[in-house]
Amino acid sequence: MDNSNHTHKINKILVANRGEIALRVMRSAREMGIKTVAIFSEADRNALHVKYADEAVCVGPPPSSESYLQMDKIIQVCHDLKVDAIHPGYGFLSENAVFAKKVTDAGIIFIGPSPEAIEVMGSKLAAKDAVSKYDIPMVPGTPKAITDVGAAKQRAEEIGYPILIKASAGGGGKGMRIVENAAEFEEQMNRAVSEAVSAFGDGAVFIEKYITSPKHIEIQVLGDTHGNIVHLFERECSIQRRHQKVIEEAPSAVVTPEIRRAMGEAAVNVARACNYYGAGTVEFIADENLNFYFLEMNTRLQVEHPVTEQITGVDLVKEQIKIAQGEVLSIKQDDLQIQGHSLEVRVYAEDPKNNFLPDIGKLTTYQRPQGAGVRVDDGFEQGMDVPIYYDPMIAKLVTFGKDRTQAIERMLRAIEEYQIVGIETTLGFCSYVLQHESFVSGKFDTNFVNKYFKPEVLDAHDLNEEAQQDEEKVAAALVNFLLEHKKDNNKPAQQATTTKSNWRKNRV
């Protein structure tokens, strides 16, 4: 292990991203006394990340391919403004090994892992191969790309149906095919291959036993450039819809200290297998008996990183920056402790009553919730337009409590306080999930939304709220009546009205 501590102080960071994550990164940079540079597209001229940054440069028209994905333009901005490091956020160029290499070759620090680590983990088969010398639990399957259909069918027979065909270059469920029996194997495989070729330009596919009701549990890791790696426990991300996460939490309601230790150790070994440095996430699926299997590693800061920050007290962006400066990790595994429970709901500009159709428009009312244990990471303000060009996630609502019950109570309260008018959002949908018996008990898996959600459940929800409002009106009228008829009180009767506004009717 290299114990030298040659650091190179970063003075100015360009954030190659937009929205809430650009702001999130700049806040930590500012606390560290580091100057910030925003880039923006023509659609984001008035965005908060542009206002917040010390300097800002327009890099092109609204489509991300013409702005936020323009590698050479972004690197040129760094030279022009004497930027010494780039933080890529998530999405966009964050897991692009070519970009990480270009940045490094231009003499700029890439705040993230090495291009080699990004590349290895970008291929599921290369990742499986890299971790094979460690004792990492993996789903039974084929360790290499299928070249011979007959041999693959044989292997499927050994594993037992149903099996899953996956694209090596895949992500977000693309190129995945469930095969129920031998008869449909070849057809499904051909479909998976052609989907993989058109989506990723790489037709390599492999098979795995299909875990029908998995929990998605991931482990946050941090590694420095001196070979030190720690894990910061798990996040439970099973509440998702079409591979888009909806609610995340840390820690998981069902993971035991023993399983946590085993998963943490496996995650550290996965990171070690690719000489990982920076912040990363090792993804596992767990079956109903909590047998867990390594799926893949995400080589970026993730959307849901705040729940880990809440339960550990670690600022992950600051750690990323310190690691990029060449510092030795100051955190030791034994210093880390779970200090409470945290939940995150993703607020999407989508209409849950209309098949989650993305909604755009002006935020005519936008009031964030406040109070104990509430954190909002967003990039919008009242009066701003939600543009069509980018991800429909407008905010992340995060709560922290001494335990899971308190974190849920605070989330329900915060969702009630949140006032968004002008666009449809997923807040009401999240409120439904958080109150569902299956969520409360912790007995849920990745099928939760398919199993329990129909648009009608939100109508029932709304009716409850309206009924509640009616009850409050009756109570208010009664108070008025009593005050007005209180003979021994000479003061005029107080106006007792319900303090609840009508905003709820404008959202789901």
Q: Which residues are catalytic?
A: 300
Instruction: Specify the pairing of strand 215-223 against strand 229-241.
Output: antiparallel
> Considering the rule CB under 6 A, would residue 366 count as an interface residue with ligand MV4?
no
Considering only 112, 115, 122, 214, the residue that binds ligand MV4 (CB under 6 A) is: 214
Q: How far, CA to CA in Å, does 92 sit from each of 61, 224, 244, 404?
A: 15, 24, 16, 33
Q: What part of residues 421-440 is at the interface with ligand MV4 (CB under 6 A)?
A: none
Which residues have CB under 8 Å from 78's CB, separation 6+?
14, 37, 84, 86, 106, 108
Q: Which two tokens stand for residue 370?
A: 């406040």
Considering only 15, 43, 139, 167, the residue that binds ligand MV4 (CB under 6 A) is: 139
Q: Which two tokens stand for residue 413?
A: 């309260």
> Considering the rule CB under 6 A, would residue 280 count as an interface residue with ligand MV4?
no
- With CB under 6 A as the contact rule, which of the stretches 18-26, 95-103, 193-201, 205-213 interacts with ligand MV4? 205-213
> Considering the rule CB under 6 A, would residue 95 count as an interface residue with ligand MV4?
no
Considering only 192, 211, 229, 408, the residue that binds ligand MV4 (CB under 6 A) is: 211
For residue 113, whether the previous peptide bond is cis, meaning omega lies within 30 degrees of 0, is: no
> Considering the rule CB under 6 A, would residue 127 count as an interface residue with ligand MV4?
no
For ligand MV4 (CB under 6 A), the number of binding residues is: 14
Asked whether the beta carbons of 319 and 345 are under 8 A apart, the reply is no
> Considering the rule CB under 6 A, would residue 282 count as an interface residue with ligand MV4?
no
Asked whether the beta carbons of 34 and 13 are under 8 A apart, the reply is yes
Rounded CA Rg of the chain: 25
> Considering the rule CB under 6 A, would residue 300 count as an interface residue with ligand MV4?
no
Among 422, 410, 409, 424, CA closest to 462: 424
Considering only 14, 118, 285, 423, the residue that binds ligand MV4 (CB under 6 A) is: 285
> Considering the rule CB under 6 A, would residue 446 count as an interface residue with ligand MV4?
yes
In the block, tokens 């600022």 appear at 315
Question: 176 vs 343, which CB is nearer to ligand MV4?
Answer: 176
Question: 96 vs 281, which CB is nearer to ligand MV4?
Answer: 281
Site string (153-192) toward ligand MV4, x via CB under 6 A: -----------x--------x-------------------
- With CB under 6 A as the contact rule, which of the stretches 96-104, 210-218, 333-341, 482-490 interacts with ligand MV4? 210-218
The continuous run of DSSP H or E covering 65 comes out as none
- C-alpha span between 114 and 508 (Å, rounded): 43
- With CB under 6 A as the contact rule, which of the stretches 143-151, 204-212, 371-379, 456-464 interacts with ligand MV4? 204-212
Asked whether the beta carbons of 297 and 283 are under 8 A apart, the reply is yes
Question: 387 vs 442, which CB is nearer to ligand MV4?
Answer: 442
- With CB under 6 A as the contact rule, which of the stretches 48-56, 203-211, 430-438, 462-470 interacts with ligand MV4? 203-211
Angle between helix 427-435 and helix 456-484 axes, rounded to 10 deg: 90
The region, left, alpha or beta by phi > 0 then psi within -120 to 50, assigned to residue 290 is: left
Considering only 221, 295, 343, 347, the residue that binds ligand MV4 (CB under 6 A) is: 295
Question: 253 vs 479, which CB is nearer to ligand MV4?
Answer: 253
Which residues have CB under 8 Å from 428's CB, separation 6+?
352, 415, 458, 461, 462, 507, 508
CB of 124 to ligand MV4, least distance (A): 9
Q: What part of residues 224-243 is at the interface with ligand MV4 (CB under 6 A)?
A: 240, 243
- C-alpha span between 142 and 168 (Å, rounded): 11
Question: 447 vs 494, which CB is nearer to ligand MV4?
Answer: 447
Q: Determine the 3-state secondary structure of 104 from DSSP.
A: helix
What is the torsion angle, in degrees rounded to the nearest 10, for the CA atoms of residue 340, residue 373, residue 406 and residue 417? Answer: -160
CB of 207 to ligand MV4, least distance (A): 9
Q: Which residues here bind ligand MV4, judged by CB under 6 A?
A: 139, 164, 173, 208-211, 214, 216, 240, 243, 285, 295, 446
